[in-house]
A and B are shown apart, each in its own frame.
Chain A
Amino acid sequence: MSTSTAPRDAVDAPSRARDILGASRLTNESLTAWLHGLPGVDQVGCEARAAMLGTRSIKTTSKAWAIDTAISMIDLTTLEGADTPGKVRGLCAKALTPDATDASTPRPAAVCVYGDMVPFAREVLGEGSGVNIAAVATAFPSGRASMPVKLADTRDAVANGADEIDMVIDRGAFLSGRYLDVFNEIADVKQACVRPDGTAARLKVIMETGELVTYDNVRRASWLSMLAGGDFIKTSTGKVSPAATLPVTVIMLEAVRDWRELTGEMVGVKPAGGIRTSKDAIKFLVAVSEVAGEDWLDPHWFRFGASSLLNDLLLQRQRMRIGAYSGSDYVTDDSPSLY
């Protein structure tokens, strides 16, 4: 884990934003000029770069390392209307013991649940398990609620014991050019993440890149989220398709890399939704390594928002350990489909 970066919690986002923009007052105009001044993204070139990264051939020892690293980066997720305390407890048990046949299996970074489920997760995980609890907030997944409701949603999750908050931005505001509204929304939620003791839950900002459509928008939303104080930029809710694609993640990795050049601070990246296979996950790790750099190859700075990915990684892990292909009956499944 990198220790060279300044703590994000100490940052006063609006004042730093004024510094970076060189503006005496933060206005929608100044934000627009800044965001639209970012270099454009050529879609074809970006996708070609991502495809090239996807051709890297990761074998033997590096594959074993990548699988364990990927497991340790998972935010093991259940975000269904049908979620129950029982489902969440099962998910948490899985996080504590991903593979009962092999105690050396790393634990995922976190479980990711709705805010009201946080207490049930805490019951199972306790303190000191190494598995964090992330809660979605701000009227997830649509984000269509008033600010007081979003802030209350956030405070509630933090009060319930969430270590991390996954908020959604107002994509409608973003797409209609109301960047200042989005900035304020993120900055205010960031404030709501502060606990009474002065510590704060880490804030992941879900941009819902599938609704932003263009890569130029993804780049602008990434920079806006970082400027407003997000600790992580995250692709998707998992409820919109396309969710986490490799090209979108490449753009976000470029953004956090360039942000560090500008400010010295690191921001995390979390692709979420649609990453189901070990092969896919390894492509993302290659992208992390070659685009952002090795400092991000750490669960503190890179996460996968996923559910079924864990078991595919475990199958691959078993195959490498026992030298034969494994099957789904040899990994435990605590979240089978309801249907």
Chain B
Amino acid sequence: MPTFEYAPAPESRAVVNLKPSYGLFIGGEFTESEGGSAFKSISPASEEVLAEVTEASSADVDRAVAAARRAFTGAWGRMSGVDRGKYLFRIARILQERAREFAVLESLDNGKPIRESRDVDVPLAAAHFFYHAGWADKLEYASLGSNPRAIGVVGQVIPWNFPLLMLAWKIAPALAAGNTVVLKPAETTPLSALLFAEVCQQADLPAGVVNIVTGAGATGQAIVDHPGIDKLAFTGSTAVGKMIARSIAGTRKKATLELGGKAANIIFDDAPIDQAVEGIVNGIFFNQGHVCCAGSRLLVQESIAEEVEARLKRRLGTLRVGDPLDKNTDVGAINSKAQLERITELTAAGEAEGATRWSPECELPSKGFWFRPTVFTGVSQGHRIAQEEIFGPVLSVLTFRTPHEAVAKANNTPYGLSAGVWTEKGSRILWMADQLRAGVVWANTFNKFDPTSPFGGYKESGYGREGGRHGLEAYVTTGDSK
């Protein structure tokens, strides 16, 4: 037993009032489904059923799109930018006021540590609404072209890794530009989006501006295929992104796709080593590695590979895996059984291909979906664990000898979302940043996000940006009106 054992420090669940079941948020109200079924949302940390939610049918999607269209041609479409902005400010404030409630709910439904939902997800979600609120009456200053205005009805499909934050990334710019929204949260994490629907009511947002339809792949497909949708925004896997791109081919629907990644986190021998180790840990174990831009491939300069591995392992020994609601938990639960199976399968492949597997000693809870933080050393570019997105707390360690080799290995993937570079040599940082084919390059830091900072990928990591002036572009059309 350690000398300094941290006693359990659970965040109270009392702040969250879940209903036993939820309908669909369409036209400003929670409504019953037309022909849809129901499914359960569980806590991945305990497999406890949290609530029953609706699997929206295509008729439900029809209703939601119609409600969004009415709002677009109606009150919301006619509203001045100034007033639109005030609604966004209002939502931002409510998110701040209800921050604890959202944080606890997010950790319950998603399995992520409360420290992260409290310190990252929820504050950033509020910040996104604040940031975009200010754009609502300033579109013509965004240098997007002449006569900037809303596109229309936007379909948005978001993933389970940052449920509320991804919702904010999608809804805030869409509304700022004057669009209306039909959003589908992921089937394993629908609850914070439903709570957000209550926030829309609380903010008196006009009916139909935001519609939340819960469901799985079929519901998402119904949104993608719906002829009343003018623009799609999707965050999720590259495989689904490609399906969407195919689905809308030959139509006039616009799309932004925020997809997978296999980021290299590159450590040079002159790196600030203690911070680099923190960056490696944050890069891959933040949010259980359920992060599209996770630094899942560690590229270490050969001369310091052993030292970095030793320091990394020592550091991983202090990670606290367990109850997501415990304020001292660093690594929470894997989001779903399916995801756990995928991680398990890919790590087994890693071992079978000859990489060396290591995990710190840690006890895992008996119920729920859990996976030990895992490091593979002796990994080559050819290994599946170096090529495929694992989307879990699994790090593959590779080595390099020169900056050119590091760049070549980092870029040798169909993905191009993010990359990390650690060196104290300024000119090398700038050279590396030029060479890396990735939408976000974190130099001497990792996994930093901000509403003002565009985020998005090269190559098969998708297209379009979210955040900043660039993110706004995806929700605006320009030129003469037809």
In the complex, what distance in Å separates the CA atom of A44 from the CA atom of B445?
Answer: 9
Q: Which residues of B contact A4 (CB under 8 A)?
A: none
Please determine whether B9 and A57 come into contact, CB atoms closer than 8 angstroms: yes
Of residues 272 through 288 on chain B, the ones whose CB sits less than 8 Å from some CB of chain A are 272-275, 278-279
Please determine whether A45 and B278 come into contact, CB atoms closer than 8 angstroms: yes
Of residues 55 through 74 on chain A, the ones whose CB sits less than 8 Å from some CB of chain B are 55-63, 65-66, 69
Residue-wise interface mask of B (1-23) relative to A, using a CB-CB cutoff of 8 A (1 in contact, 0 not): 01111111100000000000000
In this complex, how many residues of chain A approach chain B with their Cβ under 8 Å: the count is 29
Contact of A58 among B3, B6, B119, B275 (CB under 8 A): B6
Which of the segments A35-43, A88-96, A199-207, A228-236 contacts the partner chain?
A: A35-43
Please determine whether A39 and B7 come into contact, CB atoms closer than 8 angstroms: no
Instruction: For A66, give the chain B residue with the smallest CB separation.
Output: B4
B115 CB to nearest A CB, Å? 6
Is B327 at the interface (CB under 8 A from chain A)?
yes
A3 CB to nearest B CB, Å? 15
Is A244 at the interface (CB under 8 A from chain B)?
no
Please determine whether A297 and B4 come into contact, CB atoms closer than 8 angstroms: yes
Q: Which residues of B contact A289 (CB under 8 A)?
A: 2-4
Instruction: For A44, give the chain B residue with the smallest CB separation.
Output: B445
In the complex, what distance in Å separates the CA atom of A46 from the CA atom of B279?
Answer: 11
In the complex, what distance in Å separates the CA atom of A318 from the CA atom of B22?
Answer: 48
Q: Which residues of B contact A48 (CB under 8 A)?
A: 278
A285 CB to nearest B CB, Å? 7
Residue-wise interface mask of B (114-140) relative to A, using a CB-CB cutoff of 8 A (1 in contact, 0 not): 010001000000000000000000000
Please determine whether B328 and A56 come into contact, CB atoms closer than 8 angstroms: yes
Contact of B327 among A57, A251, A285, A286 (CB under 8 A): A57
B106 CB to nearest A CB, Å? 17
Is A290 at the interface (CB under 8 A from chain B)?
yes
Please determine whether A285 and B4 come into contact, CB atoms closer than 8 angstroms: yes
In the complex, what distance in Å separates the CA atom of A286 from the CA atom of B8?
Answer: 15
Q: Which residues of B contact A29 (CB under 8 A)?
A: none
Is A334 at the interface (CB under 8 A from chain B)?
no
In the complex, what distance in Å separates the CA atom of A69 from the CA atom of B327?
Answer: 22
In this complex, how many residues of chain B approach chain A with their Cβ under 8 Å: the count is 24
Contact of A294 among B4, B271, B424 (CB under 8 A): B4
A68 CB to nearest B CB, Å? 12
Please determine whether A290 and B274 come into contact, CB atoms closer than 8 angstroms: no
Contact of B7 among A46, A58, A297 (CB under 8 A): A58
Is A49 at the interface (CB under 8 A from chain B)?
yes
Q: Which residues of B contact A63 (CB under 8 A)?
A: 7
Is A254 at the interface (CB under 8 A from chain B)?
yes
Which interface residue of B4, B5, B445 has the most chain A CB atoms within 10 A? B4
Q: Which residues of A contact B4 (CB under 8 A)?
A: 62, 65-66, 69, 285-286, 289, 294, 297
Please determine whether B327 and A39 come into contact, CB atoms closer than 8 angstroms: no
A185 CB to nearest B CB, Å? 28
Of residues 244 through 299 on chain A, the ones whose CB sits less than 8 Å from some CB of chain B are 251, 254, 285-286, 289-290, 294, 297
Instruction: For A61, give the chain B residue with the smallest CB separation.
Output: B7
Please determine whether B328 and A49 come into contact, CB atoms closer than 8 angstroms: no
Please determine whether B271 and A39 come into contact, CB atoms closer than 8 angstroms: yes
Please determine whether B275 and A42 come into contact, CB atoms closer than 8 angstroms: yes
In the complex, what distance in Å separates the CA atom of A62 from the CA atom of B7?
Answer: 6
Please determine whether B444 and A42 come into contact, CB atoms closer than 8 angstroms: yes
In the complex, what distance in Å separates the CA atom of A294 from the CA atom of B4?
Answer: 7
In the complex, what distance in Å separates the CA atom of A55 from the CA atom of B116?
Answer: 11
Q: Which residues of B contact A290 (CB under 8 A)?
A: 318
In the complex, what distance in Å separates the CA atom of A6 from the CA atom of B444?
Answer: 37
Contact of B275 among A45, A66, A69 (CB under 8 A): A45
Please determine whether A60 and B328 come into contact, CB atoms closer than 8 angstroms: no
In the complex, what distance in Å separates the CA atom of A291 from the CA atom of B83?
Answer: 51
Please determine whether A49 and B278 come into contact, CB atoms closer than 8 angstroms: yes
Q: Which residues of A contact B279 (CB under 8 A)?
A: 45
In the complex, what distance in Å separates the CA atom of A278 from the CA atom of B275?
Answer: 27
Please determine whether A41 and B274 come into contact, CB atoms closer than 8 angstroms: yes
Q: Which residues of A contact B318 (CB under 8 A)?
A: 290
In the complex, what distance in Å separates the CA atom of A251 from the CA atom of B5?
Answer: 23
| Known contacts A40-B272, A62-B7; A55 and B424 CB within 8 A of each other | no
B86 CB to nearest A CB, Å? 34
In the complex, what distance in Å separates the CA atom of A65 from the CA atom of B328?
Answer: 17
In the complex, what distance in Å separates the CA atom of A289 from the CA atom of B4?
Answer: 7
Q: Which residues of A contact B115 (CB under 8 A)?
A: 55
Please determine whether B272 and A55 come into contact, CB atoms closer than 8 angstroms: no
Q: Which residues of A contact B6 (CB under 8 A)?
A: 56-58, 62
In the complex, what distance in Å separates the CA atom of A67 from the CA atom of B127?
Answer: 37
B173 CB to nearest A CB, Å? 28
Please determine whether A45 and B7 come into contact, CB atoms closer than 8 angstroms: no
In the complex, what distance in Å separates the CA atom of A293 from the CA atom of B273?
Answer: 18
Instruction: For A56, give the chain B residue with the smallest CB separation.
Output: B328
In the complex, what distance in Å separates the CA atom of A60 from the CA atom of B7?
Answer: 7
Q: Which residues of B contact A45 (CB under 8 A)?
A: 272, 274-275, 278-279, 444-445
Please determine whether A58 and B9 come into contact, CB atoms closer than 8 angstroms: yes
A148 CB to nearest B CB, Å? 39
B444 CB to nearest A CB, Å? 5
In the complex, what distance in Å separates the CA atom of A48 from the CA atom of B274?
Answer: 12
B373 CB to nearest A CB, Å? 15
Q: Which residues of B contact A55 (CB under 8 A)?
A: 115, 119, 327
| Known contacts A55-B115, A62-B7, A63-B7; A41 and B272 CB within 8 A of each other | yes
Of residues 258 through 301 on chain B, the ones whose CB sits less than 8 Å from some CB of chain A are 270-275, 278-279
Please determine whether A39 and B445 come into contact, CB atoms closer than 8 angstroms: no
Please determine whether A40 and B424 come into contact, CB atoms closer than 8 angstroms: yes
* 23 examples of A-B residue contacts, CB within 8 angstroms: A39-B270, A39-B271, A39-B273, A39-B274, A40-B424, A41-B274, A42-B272, A45-B274, A45-B444, A46-B275, A49-B274, A56-B6, A56-B328, A58-B9, A59-B7, A59-B8, A59-B9, A60-B7, A62-B5, A62-B7, A63-B7, A251-B274, A294-B2
* Top-6 shortest CB links A-B: A45-B275, A57-B9, A57-B327, A39-B273, A42-B272, A42-B275
Contacts A49-B275, A57-B6 aside, 7 further interface pairs with beta carbons under 8 A come to A39-B270, A42-B272, A45-B272, A45-B279, A48-B278, A58-B6, A254-B274
